[in-house]
Structures are given as C-alpha cells and as structure tokens.
Amino acid sequence: MLSDRLGQAIERQGCRSGEVAVLFFDLDRFAVVNESLGHGAGDELLVAVAERLRSSLRPGDTVARFGGDEFVVVCEDLQGSEQTEQIVTRVAGTLAAPFSVGGSDIYVTASVGVAMASTGDAEAVLRNAGTAVRRAKELGRNCYAIFDDALRARSVIRLELDRDLHSALARGELRVEYQPIFNVEDLRIVGAEALLRWDHPSRGPVSPVEFIPMAEETGLIVPVGAFALRTACEQVSRWDAAGITGPDFEISVNLSARQMGDPALVALVQATLAESGILPRRLCLEITETALMQDVDSAVAILDSLKRLGVRLALDDFGTGNASLNYLSRFSVDVLKVDRTFVSGLGHDCGDYAIVASVVSMAASLGLSVVAEGVETEVQLEELERLGCGNAQGFLLARPTRPEVLARLLEDAPAQRTGGPTRL
C-alpha cells in the first residue's frame, strides 16, 4: 500500500508544482527495548510511535511501518526544502515526550532520511530516503539528512569502497601504523597504539573514518581486526628480537563492537599471543564505552575471559559514552583513555579541566592507569603533567607512523632502556 500510494503521489505531482517528500524514520537503539523489557514491550512501543506519527501529519499524508523499527511518511505538495524541514522537525518532535511502556518511561529518538521527488518511481525514492537515513546515523543519530546530489555521489563512492574492501585484505592493501604513547613526566616512549590503514590501489590512502565503520557494518571488521592484532603482536616480537623494545613496552590494539560479539575472540587473542611469543601483560586491548554498553552482561563476561588470559584492557574514549560509575566498577579494565574532546580544552576551558582532573583522580583511587588522547599543544601537555596524568599520545608528541620509522625512533631513544628523556 505504501508503494502504491507513493507511486500515485509522484504521478499526481507531475501535474502540479512542488514535490513529494519521503521521510524515512529509523528508531535509534530500539533493540535495547526488546532486550531489556521484552518483545511485547517493543511491540507496544511501536504502536505508540505509530499513533504519534499519525497524529502529527496532515489529512492527506501517509504513514506506514516499513519494517522492524522503521516508519515511512509520504507528504505531497511541498514547496521547497524549508517547508520539508519544518515538517521533519514537527514530526520528529512528537517523539520527544517519554512513552509509557510496561510501567516504565522510555525516551525515543529517530534518525530521519529525507528524499524529494516530482518524477521517478517509488522504489528509487525509497532507496534514496534509505541512503539519507544511513547518513543521519553516521552523523550521530537523532538528526535528519536530506538526499541530494552530493549524497548520491557519496553513496556511489561508498558502494565502490565497500566492494573493494572485501578483497583489500587478500590483496595486501591493509597495513598497520603505530602511534607512540609517552610517559607524561619524562616523555619516555612506553608503548604504541596499532592503527589500521588502507592504501587503495587507485584512490590512494582511504581514511579510517570511512572504511572502519564500513567494515563494522559488513562484518569484515572481524577478519580485518584479527589481521591488525596479529600484525601488531608480530611487530613487537620483531622489535624485541632487534633489542629496541624493553620488557615493559606495551602494544595497544582496538576492538570493535562486532569483534566483542565474535565467539572466537578469546581464542584468537590466546593463539596470537602464543604465536608472537610476547607476554600477555604487554598487550592492551582497547574497547569504547559505546561498544561495551550495547550488551553489558555479555561485555562483562568477555572482558573477564580476556582478563584471565593476562592481557590489559583499556576503556577508550572515556567520558563520551554512557558508562556510569556503577558499570565502570563491573568492567575489568586497567586503563582509562581520556577522549581528545576533553584534552583539547585544557588551558582555556574550566569545564574540560575539571573533567580530566576528575578522571585522573578517580583512576588513581581505583588503581587504574590513564592515557590522554589527542595532545596537540604544549599547554595541554603541561596541564596533564600538573594533573598527574600518567601517559599521553597525540600529534604534539608523535603522529602515527610506519613500523620502520618507529623502530628508528626507538633505537634513538635510550629512554627505553636507561630511563632518559625522549622527545619527538
């Protein structure tokens, strides 16, 4: 019925001025409701959302449940993007008030994709609206994106990159760079973070901001992440054999949410440590708050299993997610990584200073280490030292670099063996 009504609306619009707008609503994190309150509560919420959407529309507009937690709204005779944006704001605004479901108040937000048309077919317009909603999710959810020529070109590039990424690992296009981590007090290199890089044969370097989320969506992050883990551990083993890293040098490797859900993760880490020969305590696995909060009970079990292997665990981007102090006490982490958004304000923003100071103090009381990310100025480094922050990384100290370049830096850094100062 939705396709039929949309097709008729586009056909009628060909004889009028204005355009048809398709608003594609995708409820944010709806799965959390099903998982925490049950599918019955999820169904009840969908019914309530449908009623609110219907009540916010004009008599001639159409609202349909497209599938799962997705709704589509069709509005005719719209004059320009301004009127369309007003409708999106009004309709999305109806979801702001809490929903009463199963005796609990639930707050719902939606990512919205908008596609305009005066000609064409219903399937193409729906596809464009779906592309726009994916863009809205990339922008952080709880917002809307409008499909236009730029987004069309971007979607074409994304499709091509997605296709190429499937064979990038087999073709040897992926590699790992390393960003040194420094002791704040004496600027010794105490470790490094392994970062994936993709050298595309025709496009050149592809930003991790582009291909990592793509790999996460498609599930490719599991084999790609395994490649990064093995490469990083093998590299440390080679540095050890060359005598340029000491027994306390630590390598940090990122784990994604999809990898956390892989039942073979713990076995992979155990096998990688055995193959490389490095001590488990020299491997630090970094997980973001967002990844851990997707399924707290499962995350706790996985972290405990990894902890039993002897590896260290870091909570990445700390302060930007939803982890409360209660959850922090449940996660078996050793390191808190202060997000760059807070570090950037040191020296001029009292709020950011207070946040970093609180994290450092709390970590000390819990017996955790702290790494400040994104250090880019001398002032930030000085403030971190004053606060007693243990370690730091950022462009001021060193950019991510190829292993042979970092090897030369380590060879020139007697700090690794004698405790003297190092500065890049």
Instruction: Kindly give the confidence (pLDDT) of every residue in the chain, 424 residues in length, as a single tens digit, with 9 standing for 90 and above.
Output: 899 999 888 888 766 777 899 999 999 988 888 877 888 999 999 999 999 999 988 888 899 999 899 999 999 888 777 888 888 888 888 998 999 987 888 899 999 999 988 787 889 899 999 999 988 988 888 999 999 888 888 778 778 888 899 999 999 999 999 999 999 999 999 999 999 999 999 999 999 998 998 898 889 999 999 999 999 999 999 999 999 998 999 999 999 989 998 999 999 999 999 999 999 999 999 998 878 877 788 889 999 999 999 999 999 988 665 555 667 778 889 999 999 999 999 999 999 999 999 999 999 999 999 999 999 999 999 999 999 999 999 999 999 999 999 999 998 865 443 333 344 4
Residue type at position 48: A
Classify 72 as helix, strand or coil: strand
May I ask the CATH architecture of the domain 161-418? Alpha-Beta Barrel (3.20)
> Where are the strands (E) in 6-143, listed by range?
19-27, 62-67, 70-78, 99-101, 104-106, 110-117
DSSP label at residue 401: B
Q: What is the pLDDT of residue 322?
A: 54
Burial group, residue 352, by CB count within 10 angstroms (0-12, 13-18, 19+): buried
Token pair listed for 198: 């993709």
Q: CA 302, 303, 304, 309 torsion: positive or negative? A: positive
Evaluate whether 2-147 and 161-418 have a shared fold.
no
Q: Cα–Cα distance between 190 and 196 in angstroms, integer?
A: 20
pTM higher than 0.75, yes or no?
no
Q: Cα–Cα distance between 394 and 381 in angstroms, integer?
A: 10
Each residue's pLDDT tens digit, 177-208: 999 999 999 999 999 999 999 999 999 999 99
Q: What is the pLDDT of residue 157?
A: 78
- Please name which of 177, 128, 126, 134 lies closest in space to residue 28, comparing C-alpha atoms: 134
Q: Are the beta carbons of 375 and 184 closer than 8 angstroms?
A: no
Each residue's pLDDT tens digit, 250-268: 999 999 989 998 999 999 9
368-399 core/surface letters (b: 16 or more CB in 10 A; e: else): bbbbbbbbebeebbebbeebebbbbbbebbbe
Other Cβ atoms closer than 10 A to 16: 11
Q: What is the pLDDT of residue 87?
A: 87
Other Cβ atoms closer than 10 A to 146: 21
Tokens 């779906």 found at: 130
Considering the domain 2-147 in this protein, what is its CATH number? 3.30.70.270
Strand partners, 78: 19
Q: Residue ranges of the domains in the chain?
A: 2-147, 161-418
